Amino acid sequence: MRAILGAYYFLHNGFFTLLGKLDGVAPFLIRLYLAPIMLAAGLYKLQHFDATAMWLAQGLNLPYPELMAYLVTYTELIGGFLLLFGLAVRWVSIPLMVVMVVAATTVHWDNGWFAIAPSNPITSTAKPLADIGVPMARASIENSIGIGERLARADGLLNDYGHYGWLTEKGNFAVLNNGIEFAATYFIMLLSLLFSGAGRYLSLDYFIDRSARQYLKPKTVASKVEPDIETKGEPEVTPEPELEAPVKPSEKQVVTVANE
């Protein structure tokens, strides 16, 4: 057992240590996926600003529609550019997540989960939940059955009265359900960026952060520049005082002391 665990962790540590050096690839790809979506949404709102403000006021009954239109438009535009270049990614993920929450709750919530309604109940992702009795999943399966019937009827009409091959050469027809699926997916991806950041090596955040931390790092003693000291010749050495040799008493003094 010890040998099996040792072999496993040898492979585990070697493989995932190598992958750890490439941990900036995943957030980079997420940013490349989200950036054009945000830019396209923001550009459309900017080009149709009056219609956007009117829709927010009349369609969603939101307060201050013009202010809300400005906020959502420039959040998506600026956020898209920042995601693209990997600048302030953690910070910009927060307002973009707020936009996704507002969109999901005010625009898509009543339409359920699916953005494009599944027409085959057998392949629907709601089927496992419907099998265990989740009510919303069962309703989705019933909706899929109805959608399948309508698409089959539409295909029959187009085959009989339209140029069906020309109509479907660019793709099959589908029913747009406009649920919360896309908004929730974008929210999860932005949440991932909030935790991971823009990623190493492939973002401006990485290089700016590295330079800033290097700049703020305290200087070591060796790196400090010592002040120049002008030397004015060699310092004078004060000679130590010589010790006087003890005075040898004279013979007369010795005799006097002996007589005493």
* Domain count along the chain: 2
Tokens of 202: 């492939």
Tokens of 217: 């790092």
- Residue 54 structural domain: 24-110+179-215
Q: Are residues 150 and 42 in the same domain?
A: no
State the alpha helices, DSSP H only, in the chain: 2-20, 25-47, 49-54, 65-85, 89-103, 127-131, 135-161, 164-168, 181-196, 204-216, 251-259
In sequence order, which residues have a C-beta less than 8 Å from that of residue 184 and are 6 or more positions away?
A: 100, 104, 113
Q: Are residues 106 and 28 in the same domain?
A: yes
Q: Are residues 52 and 93 in the same domain?
A: yes
The pLDDT of residue 253 is above 70: no
Q: Could you report the per-residue pLDDT of 170-221, keeping only the tens digit for each? A: 888 899 999 999 999 999 999 999 999 999 999 999 999 999 999 998 876 5
Indicate the residue type of 59: G
Nearest to 128 by CA among 110, 140, 116, 145: 140
The number of residues in the chain equals: 260
Q: Are residues 93 and 191 in the same domain?
A: yes
The answer to whether 86 and 204 have CB atoms below 8 angstroms apart is yes
Mean residue pLDDT of the chain comes to 86
DSSP 114-154: -SB--S-TTT-TTHHHHHTT-HHHHHHHHHHHHHHHHHHHH
The answer to whether 179 and 136 have CB atoms below 8 angstroms apart is no
Question: Residue 217 has what pLDDT?
Answer: 87
Band of residue 103 on the pLDDT scale cut at 50, 70, 90:
very high
Comparing 63 with 245, the larger pLDDT belongs to 63
Query: Does residue 251 form part of some domain?
Result: no
Query: Does residue 170 form part of some domain?
Result: yes
Question: pTM of the entire structure?
Answer: 0.79
The pLDDT of residue 249 is above 70: no
Interatomic CA distance for residues 47 and 50, integer angstroms? 9
SS3 217: coil
The pLDDT of residue 243 is above 60: no
Q: Are residues 34 and 64 in the same domain?
A: yes
Out of 97-111, 127-141, 163-177, 243-257, which region has the weakest mean confidence (pLDDT)? 243-257
Interatomic CA distance for residues 260 and 254, integer angstroms? 10
